Amino acid sequence: MIISSFKDNTQPALSHPENPERLEYIKLAVDSWSGADSIKYVKPFKAEEEQIEMVHDPEYIKRINDLSSQGSLSFLDMDTGVNQYTYNCALLAAGGCFKGLDLILGSGAIFNKFFLACRPPGHHAFSSKGSGFCIFNNAALGAKYAREKFGIRRIAIVDFDAHHGNGTQEIFYGDNDVFYTSFHQYPHYPGTGGPDETGHGKGEGFNLNLPFMPGTEEPDYIVSLIDIVLPLLNRFGPDQIIINIFSIFMIKRLKEIYYSLFGFSLKIICYIESSIIIPAG
């Protein structure tokens, strides 16, 4: 397990949903788990700007750096704050993903999966803009890093969140080597994620959205995972799977679909042996 940052506050106040308490509560939940003794904690490293450019436009990266350097509070949109800590926190979050990939894909690897608890999250981050609490798209960066450093060609990204991962979808929408699927409430923020959004060009058919009505409970997700997603994953034949989840500690405030993301994720791991789990958005 990799935790990217506890104390650096990338948002204006603890009243904001994306605040340092998210990671503190995740750590408390993991430590209270009966299997906590089997978890190895590893420190992340800070990603380099050139690595962030695998996904993000250099001008956008510079903008985040400049805003952070000012030391004051700025907003990319009504939800997404940037302060003096944001840039370094975002580099550390991406670097945590890279560190985990090094551990499971590098020479002499003894692990087959890792869990990254990081902030800021990522799946609403586009190549040239951030939104929905997200600065850099950690899942997309992880996929690019695995491809460029380790030659991993076919990658599946499975996204579980109240909200559709619009940034991740857009980044890979024309890529037939990345299969992206999203479980989310619909209609809901950010307004995308309909079943008709299936990819374009070479990526047609490699984007699957599973929109759920408010009030949907965990058994419906399990059935969708087993009957729809897993057969498609088997057909796609990914070399690596990235699971993007959102913190359970924000569920009651932000959504009306009721499932335990940690509990659901543990069930997923029973079906998917080699995977990466990182926060969504």
- Of 123, 124, 163, 184, which one is the catalytic site residue? 124
Closest of 90, 30, 56 to residue 277, by C-alpha: 30
The phi, psi pair for 163, rounded to 5°, reads: -115, 145
124 is catalytic: yes
Q: What angle do CA 239, 131, 172 make, to 5 degrees?
A: 30
Count of CA atoms in the C-beta half-sphere (13 A) of 144: 19
Which residues are 244's β-sheet partners?
Answer: 159, 278
**Beta strands 178-185 and 155-160, pairing class:** parallel
18, two tokens? 């994306």
Closest of 41, 32, 238, 37 to residue 155, by C-alpha: 238
**Helical residues (DSSP H) of the chain, grouped into ranges:** 21-31, 49-52, 58-70, 86-105, 138-150, 166-172, 218-224, 230-236, 251-254, 261-271
In Å, how far are 3, 20, 74, 122, 221 from 278, measured between CA atoms?
Answer: 10, 16, 26, 9, 19
**Active centre residues (catalytic):** 124
